[in-house]
Amino acid sequence: MPTTLDANNALHYLLHTWTNTVTLKSTITPSKKLMIMPKLDWTVNRESTDYQYGRLDTAAVRISHAVEPSIFLKWKMNRVRSMDLSFAYNTSVPDLISTFGYRNTIDPLQISEGNPLLHNSHSHTTTFGYHRMWLRKQIVLGVSASYRKDINPTATLYRYNSNTGVYESKPMNVKGGDEWKFGFNYDQGLGVYFRIMNKFALSKSQSYGFLTIVDNADPQAKADLNHQRLLGINENLELTYETEKLSLTLFNDLTLNRYRYDDASYNSRPVYNSAGIIARIKLSPVELWIRLADDFRSGYQTAEMNGHKLMSNASINYSFCKNKCRLALWVDDIFNKDIYYESEYSAYQREESSANYLHHYMNLTFTYRFDAKAKKK
pLDDT of 147 reads 98
Does the structure show a pLDDT above 90 at 214?
Answer: no
pLDDT tens digit sequence for 121-178:
999 999 999 999 999 999 999 999 999 999 999 998 888 988 888 998 999 999 999 9
pLDDT tens digit sequence for 282-330:
998 999 999 999 999 999 988 888 999 999 999 999 999 888 899 999 9
Q: Is the pTM of this model over 0.95?
A: no
Average pLDDT, the chain: 89
Helices (H), 130-287: none
* Cis omega (within 30 of 0) for bond into 30: no
Does the structure show a pLDDT above 60 at 96?
Answer: yes
Tell me whether residue 297 is exposed, middle or buried, using C-beta atoms within 10 angstroms of its C-beta: 0 to 12, 13 to 18, 19 or more.
Answer: buried
Tell me the mean pLDDT in the region 249-263: 95
pLDDT tens digit sequence for 315-327:
999 999 888 899 9
The C-alpha atoms of residue 305 and residue 324 are separated, in whole angstroms, by 45
Strands 286-298 and 307-320: antiparallel
Structure-derived torsion over alpha carbons of residues 24, 30, 33, 39, reported in degrees to the nearest 10? -10
281 pLDDT band (50/70/90 cuts)? Answer: very high
Q: Is 75 helix (H, G, I), strand (E, B) or coil?
A: strand
Q: What percentage of the chain has pLDDT greater than the value 90?
A: 61
Q: What percentage of the chain has pLDDT greater than the value 70?
A: 92
pLDDT tens digit sequence for 330-374:
999 999 998 888 888 888 888 888 888 888 999 999 999 887 665
User: DSSP readout, 161-174?
Assistant: ETTTTEEEEEEEE-
8 pLDDT band (50/70/90 cuts)? Answer: very low
pLDDT of 178 reads 95
2 pLDDT band (50/70/90 cuts)? Answer: very low
Tell me the mean pLDDT in the region 221-239: 91
The C-alpha atoms of residue 70 and residue 226 are separated, in whole angstroms, by 32
pLDDT tens digit sequence for 41-81:
999 988 888 777 665 566 778 888 999 999 999 999 999 99
